[in-house]
Chains A and B, each alone.
Chain A
Amino acid sequence: MTLFKSLCLAAAAGALALSAGAAEAGATLDRITQKKEMVVATAANWPPQSFMNKDNQLDGFDVDVAKEIAKRLGATARFITPEWGIITAGNWNGRWDISVGSMTPTTGRTRVLDFPAIYYYTPYVFAVHKASKLDSRAALNGKTIGVEGGTTSEDYINGKLTIDAVGVPAFTADVKPGDIKTYGDSVGPLDDLRLGDGVRLDAIVSALPTIDAAVKRGYPIRAINDKPAYHEPLAIAIDKGDAELNARLAEIVAALKAEGTLKSLSEKWYGIDYTVAK
């Protein structure tokens, strides 16, 4: 093979490689309907949204919603569990079709992902140790506060959170913490708070369902008696560029809301209807 020929071949291979990166319109939807299988990326350690149940199967609110969506696309849901950061980074390359993982559609994420629909809203609250006397947001100024890194709670406590989704009540970041501790997952702050009032943390910011679940499992903590810090809108996400799938999913979620399926799933897992922000 001459040098010129091999150079041409290399260039062609390169062009092919680049073109394979971007999703084509309708490609994901076609794949789902052809294979009758929808590959869902979700977390495995985030109860009650998605977790492994006693039978070592994935279970939870997000898992139920994903199964419901798959059913309406005429497919069955198959779940895979990559790290959260890999899901939010976008560029899925067809590894999975959709994320039903309670993702907040932040401005940064909309650059790499499409968010067809918001399916519920979670109130975020401050929580303290049972023995703590702190009981209002004003009392938390100057205290040590724990949050999960890379989440809206971290942005909130740093005063950087902006949410521009429909249906979300306005909020203000009015607590000025003395020190912020950031953890790798949602249990980290809970585990440090349970050690005792002020041992490592004075308070945490976390999703109300997470705190409720921890309390149910005997964690000596309580949410402070104040209105929620903010409401986090949570959406299903797909890779950029498939408008047909986007429209189809928006339709399905709207139908799930209208029929009350989402409401009953929310009540099943949270005991409360979180599908509207209050």
Chain B
Amino acid sequence: MYHDHVRRDKLTNKTWFLGLLALAFTAAGVVGNVGDSGLAARLAPATAALPGGEGLAGVWVALAVALALTLNVHLLGRLGRGLQIAAVWLEVFSLFLVFFYSFDLSYSFILGKLPFLITQGVVTTLYISAISIAIAFVLAMVGAIARLSDNGFAIAIASFYTSFFRGVPLLIQIYLIYLGIPQLGYVIGAIPAGVAALSLCYGAYMTEIFRAGIMSIPKGQWEAARALGFRPMHTLVLIILPQSLRLIIPPTGNQFIAMLKDSSLVSVIGVWELMFLARTQGRDEFRHLEMLITAAALYWLISIVLEQVQSRLERRLARGHRH
């Protein structure tokens, strides 16, 4: 976004804004019955001293909470940007933790199951996603070149492929491949079926990404290469693709993160990946919430790592275009 150079006073320093915020927080607190929470009990000695007695105690608690929150917003507003981002992140994250803490989870149970969730679940999830994205990459490359070619057969087949596999839910594709292919005489295993479905589906999505990447290279590049005597295939491989990869890689990283999470759908055909284990491990002791939260944390952690890798890659590929 554009950084405006005209300085204005910050919103979080203005009295009217802070007043409005405090009012909104108080109203939310009263409607949300903060007066009945554990916090209210702790504040009871203070609220008893205020006028209004029992009836207004809830309002006083809401007001106290609202003032604290407003002060928090005001103080955060005064921080420098780097510190501000870190502080807000930390606050949202601790809210999250408080939310999970309120579930009264058994941490010893989670710790006991964690090694198996990682050695069996995370490993399976990762290797299924990695193989699938590699195949999808090849499919997408072929699909994009076919769609951009002059060949009627190639265009028809490639556009049929992208249309079908983008238009049908991944879960149905998994069932179709797992249950349908054996009807043709070849009994496909659960993991190959899952990998096939994931790569076909994501290959279709990535075909469009690759196509856009190739098309974004100016026509002049093709014409210049042709004028220098390059044949079309050489032009594509040596001149166009290296330039378009800079545009293709970042969204591909995005697709990989998305696939990592969609690989959980493969659990329906009995592959023991992270989601499958999350659903089954806690079942015996009725501790499925623990397992679901652990799986969520694991998926999130892997995604964070991949996001970092992606941003590194992005910076590296963009180095020729820095201003």
Contact = CB atoms under 8 A, between A and B. Distances in A.
Contacts of A9: none
Contacts of B182: 21, 91, 93, 95
30 contacts: A16-B185, A17-B183, A17-B184, A17-B185, A18-B185, A21-B183, A44-B276, A44-B280, A45-B279, A45-B283, A47-B284, A51-B283, A52-B277, A52-B283, A56-B116, A56-B120, A56-B281, A80-B270, A81-B270, A81-B276, A82-B268, A82-B269, A82-B270, A83-B268, A86-B269, A86-B270, A91-B183, A93-B182, A95-B182, A217-B286
Nearest to A60: B284
A53 B284 contact: yes
B74 interface: no
B123 to A, nearest CB: 14
Contacts of B283: 44-47, 51-52, 187
Contacts, number: 68
Interface residues of A, number: 31
Contacts of A51: 280, 283-284
A52 B184 contact: no
Interface in B240-287: 268-270, 272, 276-277, 279-281, 283-286
B230 to A, nearest CB: 37
Interface of B is mostly: helix
Q: Bin chain B's interface residue count.
A: 20 to 34
A259 B281 CA distance: 34
Contact of A81 (B185, B187, B272): B272
A21 B180 CA distance: 11
Given A45-B280, A52-B283, A56-B120, A187 B288 contact: yes
Nearest to A218: B286
B178 interface: yes
B190 interface: yes
B272 A86 contact: no
A54 B281 CA distance: 9
Contacts of B276: 44, 81
Contacts of B116: 56
Most-contacted residue by chain A among B178, B182, B190 (CB, 10 A) = B182
B187 A93 contact: yes
A173 interface: no
Contacts of B112: 54
Interface in A37-83: 44-47, 51-54, 56, 80-83
Contacts of B183: 17, 21, 91
A53 B268 CA distance: 20
A94 interface: yes
B184 A83 contact: no
Interface string A192-219: 0000000000000000000001100111
B14 to A, nearest CB: 43
**Interface-central residue, B182, B277, B280, by most chain A CB under 10 Å:** B280
Interface string A74-106: 000000111100100101011100000000000
B11 interface: no
Contacts of B284: 47, 51-53
Given A52-B284, A214-B286, A219-B286, A20 B272 contact: no
Interface in B163-186: 178-179, 182-185
Contacts of B269: 82-83, 86
A95 B187 contact: yes
B185 A20 contact: yes
Contacts of B190: 80, 82
Interface string B173-210: 00000110011110100100000000000000000000
A68 B187 CA distance: 28
A52 B270 contact: no
B282 to A, nearest CB: 9
A85 to B, nearest CB: 8
A56 B285 CA distance: 13
Interface string A171-184: 00000000000000
Contacts of B268: 82-83, 86
Nearest to B120: A56
A217 B187 contact: no
Given A44-B283, A95-B182, A95-B187, 7 more contacts: A21-B182, A21-B183, A51-B280, A52-B280, A56-B120, A56-B281, A217-B285
Interface in B67-126: 112, 116, 120
